[in-house]
Amino acid sequence: MSRSYDVVWATSAETDLNKIIDFIAIDNPANALKILKRIRDKSSELQCCPERGRIVPELLAQNIIYYRELLVHPWRIIYRIKNSQVTVLSMIDGRRNIEDILLDRFLNRNQ
C-alpha cells in the first residue's frame, strides 16, 4: 500500500492561482476553468507521489534541495514535502524570471 500525503495550499499559492485564473477569465472564462481543472488535477497527484516532482533547478544551484515542482506548462507548482504533508507554496509563470521570485519568497520567509 502506498503512502498518502495531505496536500495543503498556502495562502500565497492560492493567491497566485486566483490571479492566474482571473487574468485568463477576462478574455476566456471557459479556458480559465479548463486550466484550473488541469492545475488542480496535477496538484492532486501529490497525494500519492510528491517525490516525482523535480527539485527546483534555480534553488538547487544555491544548494537548496527542500523545494520541488510540477510543471503545468507554462506554470510551475512549487511545493515542499514535510512528513506526511505536501504544502503547495507558489504557482509561478515559468516565462518569468523565477529565480528572483523564489529566492525572495523562500529564503527570506521560510528558512
Domains and CATH numbers, the chain: 6-109 (3.30.2310.20)
Q: Considering only CA atoms, which of 39, 65, 70, 40 is closest in space to residue 53?
A: 70
| Spatial CA neighbour of 35 closest among 60, 99, 26 | 26
pLDDT tens for 4-61 read 999 999 999 999 999 999 999 999 999 999 999 999 999 999 999 999 999 999 888 8
- Scan for cell 533547478, then name that residue: 57
